[in-house]
Amino acid sequence: MCVLLERLERSLFGINLVLIWIFGVSALAWFLFYTDLFPEIGGVLALGGLFSWFAFVAKLLTEQRIKDLQGWLDRRMFNKWATILLLALIVGEVYLTGHRGALRIESLQESADRVVRVYHAADLVDGPRQLPTRGQLHIPLLTSAGSPARLRIKVNGYPDKQITLGPRDIARLYVPESFFRPVVLLRPTADLVESVKHNPVKLWITVGGHTAIINKFAGQAVWVGCDDDVEIPQALQDSWRVELAARLKSGLVQNWLTPEAAIFPGEPYLALIPKQTIAVKQEDVPEPLKVITVKPVQVRSSFPQVEDLDVPKS
């Protein structure tokens, strides 16, 4: 009987030791890959943190006290109840990680900090968070195998990015490259601005069965496929200023650099697809002002797709 008890104790010791190792390593791995808290946790556990404090306290205890403490821990941590507790913790950990994914967003070529927000449908689920220049964010998010999270990631100054995130997925996004996608900027010509600036008209913009209405179009530029937070690249702004100055039309700069966003009812976050057709119509004009084919963003300089709108043909 004594031999059996001794073998059982040895087995529990080995089993619990392995379970403690599994739980600790998997927990630290989750913090490392799915959150941005690992440096803080490492700081707590490292030489300047929790372990150092334990070492300091241990030096204040007598040898007998330390032996008593070790004996107490041995009895509490290497018995069947500890085994059950550790197994429950590991099962809970597996369940939780099975309902978590993560975003890893990294700033590569930015000269300024950015603000990141994460949405599920129209609901803000994380943020705002500051993304430092050449820094990165790890954002853990709820998801599941049966219902992967459909997320919209918005970095200020760029079009949003829509992704599907499953359990244990790590979606890696890079600013700005991951956020360049097809968007169209409708840019009015000087003649069109002159014809509508004192007499605004309605514009209908149709994409794939969805129609946005600009009720008071007075010659402002219009974004299609993104919100009005998107920034026009500085190189493009500079080239426009030079172009308009040469044509003695510098007054148009304000119209071009402050676009309004076309909002599509029922599809407020409409993302354009290459080869889609955009039809732009003006009220009381039977023919479209312009029919546009959406182009893919192949290089950074092709963002955004700029299309000129001119006065209706007589």
Q: What is the mean pLDDT of residues 173-181?
A: 92
Alpha-carbon distance 297 to 304, whole Å?
8
Check whether 68 has a pLDDT greater than 70. Answer: no
The owner of tokens 């509508």 is 196
Q: What is the pLDDT of residue 3?
A: 47
Q: What is the pLDDT of residue 102?
A: 87
Evaluate whether 139 touches 172 at the Cβ level (below 8 Å): no
Q: What is the pLDDT of residue 55?
A: 65
Q: In whole numbers, what is the pLDDT of the chain averaged over residues? A: 83
Higher pLDDT, 144 or 14: 144
pLDDT in tens, 259-311: 999 999 988 888 999 999 999 999 888 888 899 999 999 888 889 999 999 98
Pick the CATH number of 100-179 from 1.10.3720.10, 1.20.1730.10, 3.30.200.20, 2.60.40.10: 2.60.40.10
Least confident of 8-22, 99-113, 190-204: 8-22
Q: What is the pLDDT of residue 51?
A: 59
Structure tokens at 142: 């709820």
Structure tokens at 312: 């209706």
Q: What is the pLDDT of residue 5?
A: 42
Q: What is the pLDDT of residue 1?
A: 44
Q: Which long-range contacts (CB under 8 A, 24 or more apart) does 207-212 make?
A: 207/264, 207/270, 207/272, 207/276, 207/277, 207/278, 208/273, 208/276, 208/277, 210/264, 210/265, 210/266, 210/267, 210/270, 211/264, 211/265, 212/262, 212/263, 212/264, 212/265
Confidence of residue 36 (pLDDT cuts 50, 70, 90): low
Number of other CB atoms surrounding residue 147 within 10 Å: 9
Q: What is the pLDDT of residue 4?
A: 45
Alpha-carbon distance 308 to 191, whole Å?
11
Q: What is the pLDDT of residue 128?
A: 92
Higher pLDDT, 27 or 295: 295
Alpha-carbon distance 150 to 162, whole Å?
7
Alpha-carbon distance 173 to 163, whole Å?
10
Alpha-carbon distance 47 to 15, whole Å?
29
Q: What is the mean pLDDT of residues 22-51?
A: 68
Domain spans of the chain, in order of start: 2-97, 100-179, 184-309
- pTM for this predicted structure: 0.75
Which ranges in the chain belong to alpha helices (H)? 2-34, 38-45, 50-60, 63-77, 80-97, 190-196, 234-246, 253-257
Q: What is the mean pLDDT of residues 4-33?
A: 70
Q: What is the pLDDT of residue 112?
A: 87
Q: What is the pLDDT of residue 183?
A: 95
Alpha-carbon distance 108 to 132, whole Å?
10
pLDDT in tens, 207-255: 988 999 999 999 999 999 999 999 999 999 999 899 888 887 888 888 8
**Phi, psi angles (nearest 5°) of residue 292:** -120, 140
Alpha-carbon distance 213 to 227, whole Å?
15
Higher pLDDT, 231 or 29: 231
